[in-house]
Structure 1
Amino acid sequence: MKIVVIGGSGHIGSFLVPRLVRAGHEVINVSRGSSPPYADVPEWQQVRQVTADRDHEEREGSFGDRVAALGADVVVDLICFTLESATALVESLRNQTEHLLHCGSIWRHGVSLKLPIAEGTESAAEPLDQYGIRKRDIAGMLKEETAAGGLATTSIHPGHIVGPGWLPIGPLGNLDPGVWHTIASGQPLQVPGSGTELMHHVHADDVAQAFEKAILHRDAAAGEDFNIVAPTALTVRGYVSIASSWFGQEPRMETVSWEEFRRTTTPEFADSSWAHLSRNHCMSIHKAASLIGYAPGYEPEQAVRESVQWLIDNKQLTVPSLLA
């Protein structure tokens, strides 16, 4: 098939595009062209690159028609963040392509009520911020579009995406690189809350796998939405313990109040920690496994360790001791 990937040079696309090439598809990557993919593999030599400024072209009302003119059988949209943007693309692609796949987020769910959180259930409260609200609304629009007999659509909702080339969401639910220095040196780590809060990571290649399988199993995936995460979720306490062992250290934690935690870090890191830990997410992948054969290859700690190892090897993360 001819497959257009919008935003294919990012976290997910760096793994998805080579997968699609290896499967024999003709692949077109639509991106700003401002950054290379995270994984420099030979498959990229077979990819047609189309440079586009989505924001500018959407303001002019031309982006959707430009994508439609590429004549793809399948369009994968990895960088859509508003209902208006998604709706415009659907209207341009209706009757022009066979399948549109959208990248959402598990943050379309708010605070957990029952675990694991399954699609189409009341397992979680309403989303907490505009990002989550928009991802929820886009997924709902796509489902309605397909149910009404329009464009076949699928929404894929990853957890906290991990991979080589960027910092993972760490044990405190933020991107503070100092957390890794504290853990690697065996110093006490101040943890807000109880330490039992959950985060659900996923390797970028497993997200890519889900998109590939949804494309392969179009009839089963059409009109559906899927949680895409690792087989298990990490508690803060478990995450600290596992990460400490990588550096030959015993886990040392001090639980503190949120007020005290905010006094010891930046507002940005504190807000990120609250956003991740207050949701307390653990997602079910039963639907994706049963309908499209999703089978994640990485446990969360494996994905995180690979990311941390890459950062250390490439001198983008400084720690006092190397991974054991």
Structure 2
Amino acid sequence: MRIVVIGGSGHIGTFLVPRLVRAGHEVVNISRGTSTAYTDAPEWARVRHVVADRERQDADGTFGATVTALEPDAVVDLVCFTLESATALVESLRGSGAHLVHCGSIWRYGKSRKLPIAEGSDSAEAPLDEYGIQKDRIARMLKQETASGGLVTTTIHPGHIVGPGWHPINPLGNLDPEVWTAIASGRPLRVPGSGTEMMHHVHADDLAQAFELAVEKRDAAAGEDFNVVAPTALSVRGYADIAAAWFGQTAHLESVTWDEFRAGTSEGHADASWGHLDRSQCFTIEKAKARLGYAPAYEPEQAVLESLRWLIDNGELELPNPLKV
């Protein structure tokens, strides 16, 4: 198939594009041309690159034409964040026979009500922020589009994406490197909440696997949405315990109120922690396993460790103690 990947140079595309090439597909990557994949792979030499500024072309109504002119059998959209942008692409592709696979987010769900959270259930409350609201609206629009006989679509909802090349969401639900410093040195870690709050990561290559399966199993994926995460989720307490052991340490957690936590960190880190921990999410992947054959290779802690090792080895994270694993 000829597969057009929109935004293929980012987290997911770093693993997805080489997978698609290895599977024998013709791959076209649409990007702004300002970045490259996080890790190199020989398959990129066989990828056609098209430079396009989606935001600008969406504004002047030409982005859909840019995509359809490439005559794709499938389009994987990794960088769509508004209902208007998604609708414009659907309207351009409608009638082309292409299959649109959209990257959503588990933040289409709000606070957990029942665990694990399943697609199409009452397991979670409504989304909490504009990003999640838009992702939810897009997913609902795409599902209705296919149900009404229009464009064949599929939505993949990733968890907290982790892999070599970028910082993972840490045990406090943010990207503060000082959290890793405290864990590596055995210092007390100030934890807001109960410590039982859940976070659900996914390795970028496992996520890429799900996108590849959705493309190749069009009939099974048509009109569906899938939560794609690791086989298990991590609690704050469990995550900290596991991570401390990587450095030969024992986690020492100090329970604090949210006000106390906010007073001891930046506004951005505090807001990120609240966003992850207040949701306290854990998801089931049974639908993706049953319909697509999704088989994640990474437990969440394995994915985080791989990411952390890359950051340390590449001088992007300096810690007081070395990894012992």
Shorter-chain TM range is over 0.9
Are 2:179 and 1:179 aligned?
Answer: yes
Task: Please show how residues 35-54 of structure 1 align to structure 2 within 5 Å.
Answer: 35-54=35-54
1:216 CA displacement: 1.2
User: Is 2:7 aligned against 1:7?
Assistant: yes
For the Cα contact (< 8 Å) 1:109–1:127, is it kept in 2?
yes
Shift of 1:172: 0.2
Contact conserved, 1:4 with 1:72, CA < 8 A, in 2? yes
Equivalent positions of 1:56-135 (< 5 A) are: 56-135=56-135
Aligned residue in 1 for 2:211: 211
Residues in 2 aligned to 1:217 and 1:26: alpha-carbon distance in whole angstroms:
17
What is the TM-score with the length of structure 1 in the denominator? 1.00
Query: Is the partner of 1:255 in helix, strand or coil?
Result: strand
**Distance of 1:2 and 1:49 partners within structure 2:** 13
Q: Which amino acid aligns with 2:85?
A: S
Corresponding position of 1:144: 144
Partner residue in 1 for 2:229: 229
TM-score, structure 2 normalization: 0.99
Aligned partners of 1:288 and 1:126: how far apart in 2?
22
Letter in 1 for 2:184: A
> Alpha-carbon deviation of 1:98?
2.2
CA distance in 1, matches of 2:97, 2:40: 29
Q: Which residue of 1 aligns with 2:27?
A: 27
1:281 match: 281
Unpaired runs of 5+ in structure 2? Answer: none
**What whole-Å deviation, never above 9, does each CA across 1:7-48 have from its counterpart, x for those lacking one?**
000000000000000000000000001011012010000000
Question: What displacement does 1:52 show?
Answer: 0.4
Hey, what's the Cα distance between the residues in 2 that align with 1:83 and 1:36?
Answer: 27
State the 1:97 CA deviation.
3.6
Residue 303 of structure 2 corresponds to which residue in structure 1? 303
One-letter code aligned to 2:68: A
Tell me the number of residue pairs that the alignment of Structure 1 and Structure 2 aligns.
324
Q: How far apart are residue 168 of structure 1 and its match? A: 0.3
Residues 5 and 77 in structure 1, CA contact (< 8 A), matched pair in contact too: yes
Aligned 8 A contact 1:75 1:97 in 2: no
Q: What letter matches 1:175 in structure 2? A: L
Counterpart CA distance in 2 for 1:182 and 1:98 is 50
Structure 1: runs of 5+ lacking an equivalent: none
Q: Which residue of 2 aligns with 1:255?
A: 255
Q: Is the 1:71–1:97 Cα contact (8 Å) retained in structure 2?
A: no
